Amino acid sequence: MAGEIVTDNLAMFRILEERLHDPAVRRSADLAGALLDEDFVEFGSSGTIYGRAAILEALGQEADGADSPVSASDYALTWLSQDVALLTYRSKRGARHSLRSSIWRHRDGRWQMVFHQGTKTAG
């Protein structure tokens, strides 16, 4: 993915999103932090609301191989404004299936995730 030239908006957001699925990125506060906006908020499937610092701390504590890789499909992109996009998709990690939504904002010359929500599904 690094250095990949992307001409399709959906493909670009998919690449950004999937970087956050990469265990090496997830465990690095610098790499994950570069993808998360300063105003980042996540509504967890548990109902807990997490801020950027809490998410970066939790990601940094994930153990090597502690969980299955994430597979994602059915991506859809909706523009909310010229600088804000909503990305939705389905994911599977081990036996856990989820519907996911992320809001990405373009600011200071780069795209960063400002909001994320995952909702568990039966499959």
Q: Is 2 a domain residue?
A: no
* pLDDT tens string 10-28: 999 999 999 999 988 988 9
Residue 94 pLDDT = 85
Domain at 81, CATH number: 3.10.450.50
Q: Is 59 a domain residue?
A: yes
Residue 5 pLDDT = 46
Q: Is 4 a domain residue?
A: no
Residue 34 pLDDT = 97
> Among candidates 105, 81, 98, 117, which has minimal Cα distance to 13?
105
- Rounded to two decimals, the pTM is 0.88
Count of domains observed in the chain: 1
Q: Which domain holds residue 37?
A: 9-121
Q: Is 1 a domain residue?
A: no
Cβ pair 99, 109 in contact under 8 A: no
